[in-house]
């Protein structure tokens, strides 16, 4: 007896509810448990605030005898109405509004589909609609199966086992046979983690790897969403409201060709200065190594000043926030916080729009589809020097280099390997990196 419903079964539920049949009778008809039917109705029903023809939504206890006029003042959207109770804005503006809730909605079958008074009811209603329920259920199943929920500690544990042996030339199959009890996962899972760049080794490091044609949508593997607790975009807004003068740094990844080298971009919003670092693989460890390197080069005091808050997206390469946020003194000992990392909402790149816009300048030199495999970090420094010397209208016709220098000084720019390029020599074309 399956707990999943087909569209036809949901249509049957909707029809039976309209005819006021009980949950037990619906369950017998569909050969399912009554609890399953009850759970389906509660989960996928919708609350609707509607009235009926000629009478808008009105949930006030006094709606039948009320004779009030001009409740909302002179800006009434329905001035031809005799009484305010006939206006859909009445409840929101009336000081004498007393809400009435129909308690029948909270008793089996928990919906208003079969209510004999529904055609003349102006209260909040609970409706089970088969089409809406089917779409919502499909979306819920799709989201539950997308990605992979695994903690960063578990990924690190598996990485410590697999990576050294792969670097010795062993295959994943050999490693799995010898360490099956220690790994506590399937061989396929290990391959999935390597494909998702969660380990320090890549497919190219494997002695023999059968290549399959990529599917239209490759599944995304992410580390445990628990790492984002307290680091959401809402938490970021709360932090900025509390400390409004804090400088924000945005971070992102620029991809060359899939599986090849990529860039980590760091954008100082206040000055529009952008740093870019070449990485061999899009892994979380590569991001951690870059920040540890910046911390060492700049010094703790300057690093804390430049990176008080970092805003980034939900990419798997940023899924180990603890190692980015804290200054590591020893393998098991973490010192004080060096930065605060927050994540944008999924599918909301506009929340870090400044860095997204600045990527357009990178794409002038490195168009989409360009491989970064032949580039060196010196090439990337050269490209960013030209971009950072490019004057911007929003900076009062100054360049990001000049603006950043005003705030933090030339010595910091020198530590970041930033050099100013003369205006006449600036080139934002692919020819800049032609070898």
Total H helices, total E strands in the chain: 17, 9
Written out in words, the top-level CATH class of the domain with range 228-433 is alpha beta
Rounded to an integer, what distance in angstroms lies between the CA atom of residue 350 and that of residue 91? 36
Rounded to an integer, what distance in angstroms lies between the CA atom of residue 262 and that of residue 276? 10
Quick one: how far is CA 15 from the chain centroid?
38
pLDDT value for 208:
66
Domain boundaries, the chain: 7-59+101-145, 152-205, 228-433
Long-range pairs, 133-137, Cβ under 8 A, ≥24: 133/5, 133/10, 133/40, 133/44, 133/45, 134/5, 134/7, 134/10, 136/44, 137/4, 137/5, 137/44
DSSP strands (E only) in 68-226:
125-127
Q: Give residues with Cβ within 8 angstroms of 71, minimum separation 6.
A: 84, 87, 90, 93, 94
Could you tell me if 278 and 372 are in contact, meaning their C-beta atoms sit under 8 angstroms apart?
A: yes
Cα–Cα distance list, 225 to 52, 325, 343 (Å): 44, 17, 11
pLDDT value for 48:
85
Rounded to an integer, what distance in angstroms lies between the CA atom of residue 307 and that of residue 96? 52
Each of the 435 residues of the chain gets a pLDDT tens digit; together they read 456 888 889 999 999 999 999 999 999 999 899 999 999 998 899 888 888 777 888 888 888 888 887 777 656 655 555 778 777 778 877 878 888 888 888 888 899 998 888 888 888 889 999 888 998 888 777 666 555 667 777 888 898 999 998 888 888 888 888 888 888 888 888 888 888 778 888 877 876 665 554 454 444 455 556 677 788 999 999 999 988 889 999 999 999 888 889 999 999 999 999 999 999 888 888 899 999 999 999 998 999 999 999 999 988 888 888 888 888 654 444 457 899 999 998 888 889 999 998 999 999 999 988 999 999 999 999 999 999 999 998 899 899 999 999 999 999 999 999 999 998 899 999 999 886
Q: Give residues with Cβ within 8 angstroms of 320, minimum separation 6.
A: 152, 223, 227, 284, 285, 287, 288
pLDDT value for 311:
94
Rounded to an integer, what distance in angstroms lies between the CA atom of residue 61 and that of residue 65? 9
Rounded to an integer, what distance in angstroms lies between the CA atom of residue 121 and that of residue 277? 63
pLDDT value for 59:
83
Per DSSP bridges, beta strands 262-268 and 326-330 are unpaired
pLDDT value for 137:
86
pLDDT value for 333:
41
Single out the residue of 295, 289, 310, 335 nearest to residue 231, CA to CA.
Answer: 310
pLDDT value for 73:
64
pLDDT value for 343:
92
Per DSSP bridges, beta strands 273-279 and 46-48 are unpaired
Rounded to an integer, what distance in angstroms lies between the CA atom of residue 346 and that of residue 236? 14
Rounded to an integer, what distance in angstroms lies between the CA atom of residue 252 and that of residue 314? 10
pLDDT value for 331:
41
pLDDT value for 136:
85
Helices assigned H by DSSP within 233-319 = 233-242, 284-298, 300-306
Burial of 151 (0-12, 13-18, 19+ CB in 10 A): middle
pTM (two decimals): 0.55
Burial of 317 (0-12, 13-18, 19+ CB in 10 A): buried
pLDDT value for 379:
93
Would you state the structure tokens that stand for residue 345, as one six-digit string? 């909402």
């Amino acid at each position: 007896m399956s707990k999943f419903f087909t569209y036809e079964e949901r249509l049957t539920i909707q029809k039976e509810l309209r005819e006021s049949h009980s949950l037990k009778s619906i369950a017998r008809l569909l050969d399912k448990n009554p609890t399953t039917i009850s759970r389906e109705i509660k989960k996928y029903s919708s609350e609707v605030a509607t009235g009926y023809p000629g009478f808008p939504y009105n949930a006030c206890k006094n709606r039948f005898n009320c004779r009030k006029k001009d409740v909302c003042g002179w800006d009434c959207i329905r001035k031809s109405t005799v009484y305010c109770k006939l206006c859909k804005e009445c409840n929101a503006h009336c000081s004498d509004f007393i809400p009435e809730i129909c308690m029948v909605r909270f008793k089996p079958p928990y919906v208003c589909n079969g209510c004999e008074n529904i055609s003349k009811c102006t209260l909040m209603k609970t409706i089970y609609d088969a089409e809406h329920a089917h779409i919502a259920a499909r979306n819920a199943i799709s989201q539950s199966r997308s990605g992979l929920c695994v903690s960063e500690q578990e990924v690190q544990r598996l990485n410590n086992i697999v990576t050294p042996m792969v670097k010795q030339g062993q295959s994943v199959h050999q490693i799995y046979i010898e360490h099956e009890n220690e790994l506590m996962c399937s061989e396929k899972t290990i391959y999935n983690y390597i494909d998702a760049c969660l380990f320090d080794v890549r497919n190219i490091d494997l002695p023999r790897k059968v290549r399959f044609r990529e599917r239209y949508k490759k599944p995304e593997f992410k580390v445990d969403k628990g790492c984002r607790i307290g680091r959401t975009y809402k938490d970021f807004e709360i932090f900025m409201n509390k400390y409004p003068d804090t400088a924000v740094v945005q971070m992102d990844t620029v991809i060359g060709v899939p599986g090849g080298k990529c860039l980590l971009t760091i954008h100082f919003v206040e000055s529009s200065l952008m740093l870019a670092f070449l990485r061999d693989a899009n892994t979380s460890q590569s991001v951690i190594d870059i920040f540890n390197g910046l911390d060492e080069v700049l010094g703790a005091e300057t690093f804390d000043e430049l990176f008080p808050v970092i805003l980034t997206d939900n990419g798997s390469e940023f899924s180990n926030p603890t190692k980015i946020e804290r200054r590591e003194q020893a393998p098991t000992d973490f010192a004080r916080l060096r930065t605060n990392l927050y994540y944008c909402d999924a599918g909301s790149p506009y929340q870090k729009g400044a860095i997204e816009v600045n990527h357009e300048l990178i794409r002038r030199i490195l168009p989409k589809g360009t491989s970064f495999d032949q580039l060196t970090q010196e090439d990337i420094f050269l490209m960013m020097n030209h971009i950072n010397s490019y004057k911007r209208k929003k900076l009062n016709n100054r360049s990001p280099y000049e603006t950043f220098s005003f705030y933090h000084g030339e010595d910091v720019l020198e530590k970041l390997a930033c050099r100013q390029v003369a205006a006449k020599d600036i080139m934002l074309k692919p020819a800049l990196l032609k070898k």
